[in-house]
Amino acid sequence: QEWPRKTAVRFLPEEEPVEEKNSSFRFSARTLPGSVLDPGRSRFGFPKKYRLLKREQFLSVQSSPSRFVSKHLVFLYHDNSLGHVRVGFTVSKRHGKAVVRNKIKRRLRSAVRLLMPQLHLLGFDVVIIPKVGTDSQSSLDLMTEVSSFARRVKGI
């Protein structure tokens, strides 16, 4: 069964809104193309090519001896031949229930996404492991630690 579609309103420049019935176009402030509120089309997106997705990728990074330890995060990294960084997050059950672990991952993903201009040319695979107590840290503190990792690795 197909659900009835709502009326979509399309705003054209310097014109009155045009109503279209049964349109596939859906407008809301959250999906304004190219806006910061639209994570899929924002310049601060986090596409799949910049993420570690498979278990083998995580294990290959975790087997490497290169690591950087900050106050709240542990960064494991090793070279890749892709010419850009790929990032993965590992949050253990020691941090608490799934809600807390997901909150930590969201904050870390946000910090990495905002610092991607510094990170994207590093050419490393990076696994970020938060230490216990990271859930009480602000996003700014996490961004500072990710930024210090980027500065340290660029200097190597």
Q: Could you read off the pLDDT of 22-32 as tens digits, one per residue? A: 544 444 444 44
Q: What percent of the chain has pLDDT over 70?
A: 70
Q: Which of 1-10, 48-57, 64-73, 84-93 has the lowest mean pLDDT?
A: 1-10
Q: What is the mean pLDDT of residues 142-147?
A: 90
Look at residue 7 and tell me whether its pLDDT is greater than 60: no
For residues 37 and 120, give the distance between their C-alpha atoms in angstroms, rounded to a whole number.
22
- pLDDT greater at residue 10 or residue 124: 124
How high is the pLDDT of residue 44? 61
Give the pLDDT confidence of 84-116 residue by residue, as tens digits: 889 999 999 999 999 999 999 999 988 888 888
Confidence of residue 118 (pLDDT cuts 50, 70, 90): confident
Look at residue 69 and tell me whether its pLDDT is greater than 90: yes
What three-state secondary structure class fits 9? Answer: strand
70-81 core/surface letters (b: 16 or more CB in 10 A; e: else): bebbebbbbebe
The structure tokens listed for 70 are 């900050």
Could you tell me the maximum CA-CA distance found in the chain, to the nearest angstrom?
A: 62
